[in-house]
Amino acid sequence: MRILLLEDDNMIAEALGDVLHAAGFAVDCVTDGLIAENLIQPEIYDLALFDIGVPKLDGLSVLKHLRARHYDLPVILITARDSVEERIHGLDSGADDYVVKPFAPDELLARIRAVLRRRQGHATPVLSNGSITLDPATREVSIADTTTRLSAREYALLYCLLKKPGAILSRQELEEKIYGWNEEVESNAVEVVIHGIRKKLGSKVIKNVRGLGWLVDRGN
């Protein structure tokens, strides 16, 4: 899962990046709204976090331009502006949530999970294909009688596959979802992550379709 973070305070951006990486997200961080607007590709990003008070084009304007172009990318506004009027305006402008600084990192992660869940049509907080169950809150995955906790990268990759059971995801699609642009990606990086998942859950949990990519079964 990949997040676009619009935040011009370097210390906050670095701290948020660390929190999001640890939770299994790939993060691309930009410091002004014009760059963010030019980068946004809903097919690559799963969610965006916009600070409102950023240079050149504020986060609220970027959000409005997104919605005017009918992009339905989930957006959470993060800002120090805490008046009721500001919050109402942000939500009415198309934000999926509005978080006031300072906030607890765990609360932000919970709000991200809730927004993604709503947008993907999942009433339950867990993902499952009937045989594999993944809990985004704990990064625990269960299959048969085995329950284990995945690394951040393993969780991110399995999450992508479980979102679309039966669908084949290519190497490029998986790399785009689990690595940010500032991360060096080795040629066999996806295979290494999949190998780690298979060691924990069994060799048949993720299937390879030669020349095309990988999938998890639709299940029961």
The answer as to CATH 1.10.357.10 being correct for domain 127-215 is no
Global confidence as pTM: 0.84
Mean pLDDT of 46-61: 93
Pick the closest to residue 79 from 56, 96, 102, 61 (CA basis).
Answer: 102
Mean pLDDT of 37-61: 90
Is 2-120's fold the same as 127-215's?
no
Above 70 in pLDDT, residue 118?
yes
Q: What is the pLDDT of residue 90?
A: 92
Q: What is the dotted CATH code of the domain comprising 2-120?
A: 3.40.50.2300
d(Cα 117, Cα 188) in Å, to the nearest integer? 30
Per cent of the chain over pLDDT 90 is 72
Higher-pLDDT residue of 44 and 194 is 194
What DSSP letter does each residue of 132-199 carry, written as one string? Answer: EEEETTTTEEEETTEEEEPPHHHHHHHHHHHHSTT--B-HHHHHHHH--TTS---TTHHHHHHHHHHH
Domain edges within the chain: 2-120, 127-215
pLDDT band of residue 220 (cuts 50, 70, 90) is low
Separation of alpha carbons 108 and 192, rounded Å: 30
Predicted confidence (pLDDT) per residue in 191-203, tens digit:
999 999 999 999 9
Q: How confident is the model at residue 123 (pLDDT cuts 50, 70, 90)?
A: low
Q: How many CB atoms lie within 10 A of CB 86?
A: 17
